[in-house]
Chains A and B, each alone.
Chain A
Amino acid sequence: MKRVGLLVSLLVGLLAGLLVVASVSAQTPTPNRRPNPDDVNRVAKKLYCPVCENEPLNVCQTPACVQWKAQIAQYLAEGKSDDEIVQIFVDQFGLVVQGEPPFSGVTVLLWIGPIVFALLAGFYTIRLIRRMAARPARGTPPPVEKPASTGDRYLDQVESDLKQRL
């Protein structure tokens, strides 16, 4: 009976020990794999703290941002990808925390606006140049601009040099 009692208590002890170890390791998943600050910064760079305007998280030193960085470290340790972590913060605080807002209904004009503007302005510019150049100047051709008579031998030389190269 003694032996059985010893065996049972050993088993119980072992079980309890395992449970404790398991629960501890669940709380602090992998104490040895503390994420590198560089990895944290890589993610933090893509985020902006909504408290300190226009300061990316990786350079912000306020307590809130330090806490966010700790959170990022934890997510990294849990094996989340960069994009997943960014998404967690966006879900929680809104699009304002993301430094490069994705292409979406809200940002569509931001991304295609400059392209549309460039196309329109470019079209107009090219049309202007071509149309104006194609049409010969009316009336008598404008007098050829004389090289500014500077009375300066050297400048005339420079001008004629430049002419030759053209």
Chain B
Amino acid sequence: MIVDIGLIALVLAFASALYGVSAAIYGGQNHRPDWIASARRAALTITPLLTIACLTIIISNLGNNFNLEYTYRVNSRGMPTVLKFTSLWGGQNGSVLFFGWLMSLYIFFLFVREWRGNRALQPWVLAVSLGAQLFFLVLTMFFANPFARLWLDANGSPLAAVFQPSGTIPYMPPDGLGLNPLLRHPGMIIHPPMLYLGFVGLTIPYAFAMAALLGGSTASDAAWIKATRRWTLIAWAFLSMGLLLGGRWAYDVLGWGGYWGWDPVENSALLPWLTATAFLHSVMIQEKRGMFKIWNMILIVLTFCLMILGTFVTRTGVISSVHSFARSSLGVPFLLFTALILLGSAALVVLRWNYLKSENRLESPWSRESAFVLNNFLFLTITFTVFLGTYYTMFSELIVGQKLTIGPAVFNQLIGPQVTALVLLMGIGPLLAWRKSSPQALGRMTQKAGLIAVFVVAVLFLSGIRAFGALAGFGVVTYAGLITLEEIYHGVRARMKLSDESLFVALSRLIARNRRRYGGYVIHLGVIFMGLGVIGTTMFQQETEQPLRVGESITLGDYTITYQGSELYVPENEPDKTVFVGHVLVSVAGGPPEAMTPYREVFQQGGGLLPPALRSTLTEDLYILFTGEESGFGTLKVYINPLVNWLWIGSIVLIVGTLLAMWPSGAGAAVAVRAPGQIIVGEAGK
């Protein structure tokens, strides 16, 4: 049977990983290239094997093979084909396998080409990355096996086991339970793979960092830090996309008018993103000046630990209740693995302390180096705050038996000022030169932006905005945004003066010539735009909810929304779902009415979705929800989300900037230097 093939493939992948780790360690310790090459070949077999394992699950899902416990849990006969396909990652056991498969893809792409990096690093990168892979394969095989099948015991009650327990007969339920309704939205199909790609991608930088400690010599310094930076950037890009898609998905289907709820699951994905962002900044000090090596190492370790912790939290639900830890089969192995990584990495950093010492010193508090130090300080306090807010209830439940809910109000108060300071630094940091600069120079360069920002704040104040947070936020965003734009403009002007290029040509060549710097600026601009959206929605959101008879209206802001009645239907391809559609007419400032149809989906299994009808402009979104009709009253809930579109625009800008920064250097765009024993370095102008 096809499922048996999958199980065999999984076992072989496990064996490959186990062998690979051992061979890599042996080869590394005894300087045996043949063993290292063998470990590499073992690593390369894992992806094909896990691909087979995943395919057999997909085939089982497509073929309604409900004898497989996993297919029974996440599939049903009525489900559309595309969902049967994506339900590979729609349930716990499948997603752990999928997670391992994605990790194997990274390892595959890292090792498929001849190793061009430092020779001394290779066995240890192999050993550490395969070690992480092995952990997820252990989870898949022994704690969350998607190949378990259903059996009926002598009493006729079903049970799940990989191999047939004695005295049982195979059991094939007539239909499956079906995919969790929340996961049927297209956003939920793309969002988890993106997030997972971000998560597993962090394994590679961690492997490089550990390799530098395990087998490192000073010669390998430049090699590991460059490779680590590049792979972190790739993982960071996926993680950012995963987070942003998750936010958009929440905005589009959950029906609470927002996109980020400071939910433990969201936070646990944000935490490694925060430390990875800190690393991507401070790594530049190490590359340029050979400083902060220990610190960068700590950031990499922290990022990887937070990733494992985040996976642990989402897979076991430990925060919502400490008791779910015991219920989940994954709890203990995850805890052990996290402890192993933390202690192991900490021990290595301490052992190699001398090797990690700085080559240079800070020379002036007014320097790019100091700006990066401050950047790391802010990222770390934000990380600590989010960590505390997320895990506080776990500690309070464990220690004093008191469960708590830490809602957005707490996070906004604690995080708001820190993020404002970070955005301010984001504006002025890039202006500071390496080594030495002066406050006077900084003042000269930022005075225009400062004046305009003060003017903007004054106008906002006169127009009636009194909230200090909003004024400070808009002021800082304006200031930092203008400085960033000015920086790009100076580069463009220099090019235009020099080579008579048009604005557009100058801009695109400027970026192409130094993608790392200008990609960074584009990312910063994305953050500025997102900041506008965040301030608008958190400080100025309006909402109202009213039960209305047909023909009655509610007014919010400039909008008049008239209820026109409702209807309900059951979609043919999803018979377990009922859709309630509300019909409304929206008129803006007394203008001609437009028809809009918010709806609510209710699922037989319970739960449902509440997608809004959106009227989206650059200034604000009108967000209408229809929660249902009862005794002649249709209930409408209406939000006005000011500037929220800038959040999505900023997201796209951020992703574009990331792509610019990480796109492999093409010919002509970079001066590629291939030093012996080093990976390719030296994009132009770095």
Whether a CB of chain A sits under 8 angstroms from the CB of B320 is: yes
Kindly identify which residue among A46, A56, A106, A153 contacts B404, using a CB–CB cutoff of 8 Å: A106
Q: Which residues of B contact A129 (CB under 8 A)?
A: 362, 365, 370, 373
In the complex, identify which listed stretch (A6-14, A18-26, A157-165) lies at the interface while the others stay far away: A157-165
Highest count of chain B CB atoms <10 Å: which of A41, A110, A121 = A110
Contact partner, B263, options A54, A94, A97, A133, Cβ 8 Å: A54
Question: Could you tell me the distance in whole angstroms from the C-beta of A155 to the nearest C-beta in chain B?
Answer: 5
Taking a contact as CB atoms under 8 Å apart, the answer to whether B320 and A54 are in contact is yes
- Total B residues in contact with A, Cβ cutoff 8 Å: 69
Report which of A61, A121, A142, A163 forms a contact with B381, defined as CB distance below 8 A.
A121
- Our pick among B380, B389, B434 for the contact of A121 (Cβ within 8 Å) is B380
> Given contacts A41-B543, A61-B608, are A48 and B407 in contact (CB under 8 A)?
yes
Residues of B contacting A48 in the complex (Cβ-Cβ under 8 angstroms): 405, 407
Q: Which residue of B lies closest to A56 (CB)?
A: B407
Q: Are A154 and B403 in contact (CB under 8 A)?
A: no
CB distance A54 to B498 under 8 Å?
A: no
Q: A97-B405, A152-B684 are in contact. Are A106 and B396 (CB under 8 A)?
A: yes
Contact A158 B377 (CB under 8 A): no
> Does A95 touch B at the CB level, under 8 Å?
yes
Is there an interface contact between B414 and A114, defined as CB atoms closer than 8 Å? Answer: yes
CB distance from B647 to the nearest CB of A (A): 19
Contacts of B370 in A (CB 8 A): 129, 133
With both beta carbons as reference points, the residue of chain B lying nearest to A60 in the complex is identified as B256
B26 at the interface (CB under 8 A from A): no
A interface residues, how many (CB within 8 angstroms): 53
Contact of A130 among B365, B408, B498 (CB under 8 A): B365
B543 touches A94 (CB 8 A): no
Please report which residues of chain A, range 130-145, place their CB below 8 angstroms from some CB of chain B when the two chains form the complex: 130, 132-133, 135, 137, 142, 145
Give chain B nearest CB distance to A162 CB in angstroms: 7
Q: Does A32 contact B (CB under 8 A)?
A: no
Q: Which residues of A contact B434 (CB under 8 A)?
A: 145
| A residues in contact with B384, CB < 8 Å | 113-114, 117
Knowing A61-B608, A155-B513 touch, does A107 contact B381 (C-beta < 8 A)?
A: no
Q: How far is the CB of B482 from chain A (nearest CB, A)?
A: 15
Residue A150 is within 8 A (CB to CB) of chain B in the complex:
yes
Which residues of A sit under 8 angstroms from B363, Cβ to Cβ? 133, 137
| Distance between Cα atoms of A150 and B686 in the complex (Å) | 10
B370-420 at interface with A (beta carbon < 8 Å): 370, 373-374, 377, 380-381, 384-385, 388-389, 392-393, 396, 400, 402-410, 414, 418
Residues of B within 8 A of A128 (CB): 362, 373
Min Cβ gap A135→B in Å is 7
Set A107, A137, A150: member contacting B361, Cβ < 8 A? A137
Shortest distance between the CB of B258 and any CB in chain A (Å)? 9
Q: Are A122 and B686 in contact (CB-based, < 8 A)?
A: no
Contact across chains for A61 and B610 when beta carbons are under 8 A apart:
yes
Q: With A122-B377, A125-B373 in contact, is A154–B498 under 8 Å at CB?
A: yes
Q: Which residues does chain A contribute within 8 Å of B685, judged by CB atoms?
A: 148, 150, 152, 155
Asked if B543 contacts A99 (CB within 8 A), the reply is: no
Interchain CB contact under 8 A, B494 and A154: yes
Q: How far is the CA of A125 from the CA of B389 in the complex (A)?
A: 23
Nearest residue (CB) in B for A53 is B320
Write the nearest CB–CB distance from B90 to chain A, whole angstroms.
19
Tell me, in angstroms, the Cα distance from A122 to B684 when the chains sit together: 35
* Interface status of B490 (Cβ within 8 A of chain A): yes
Contacts of B377 in A (CB 8 A): 121-122, 125
CA distance A94 to B402 in the complex (A): 8
Contacts of B360 in A (CB 8 A): 137, 142
When distances are taken between beta carbons in the complex, the residues of chain B under 8 Å from A101 are: 404-406, 410
Inter-subunit contact B263/A154 (CB<8 Å): no
Q: Which residues of B contact A59 (CB under 8 A)?
A: 254-257
Residues in B whose Cβ lies below 8 Å from that of A155: 513-514, 684-685
Given known pairs A118-B381, A137-B363, A145-B435, the reply for A94 and B403 (CB within 8 Å) is yes
Evaluate whether A99 and B407 lie within 8 angstroms (CB atoms) in the complex, with A106-B396, A129-B373, A152-B684 already known. yes
Q: Which B residues between 240 and 266 are near A, CB-CB below 8 angstroms?
A: 254-257, 261, 263-264
Known A117-B384, A166-B437, A166-B441; contact A109-B392, beta-carbon cutoff 8 A: yes
CB–CB A61/B627 < 8 A: yes
> Per a CB cutoff under 8 Å, which of A61, A97, A107, A148 touches B686?
A148
B545 within 8 Å of A (CB atoms): yes
A99, B409: Cβ atoms under 8 Å? yes
| Interface: A83 (CB within 8 A) | no
Q: Does B495 make an interface contact (CB < 8 A)?
A: yes
Q: Is B445 an interface residue (CB 8 A)?
A: yes
Q: How far is the CA of A48 from the CA of B403 in the complex (A)?
A: 12
**15 A-B pairs (CB sep. < 8 Å):** A38-B543, A54-B264, A61-B608, A99-B409, A109-B392, A110-B404, A117-B385, A121-B381, A128-B362, A129-B365, A129-B370, A145-B435, A154-B498, A161-B490, A166-B445
Residues on B lying within 8 angstroms of A by beta carbon are: 254-257, 261, 263-264, 320, 360-365, 370, 373-374, 377, 380-381, 384-385, 388-389, 392-393, 396, 400, 402-410, 414, 418, 433-435, 437-438, 441, 444-445, 490-491, 494-495, 497-499, 513-514, 543-547, 608, 610, 627, 635, 671, 684-686
**A122-B377, A163-B433 known; 7 other A-B pairs, CB under 8 Å?**
A37-B545, A54-B320, A95-B402, A110-B404, A114-B381, A148-B685, A162-B433
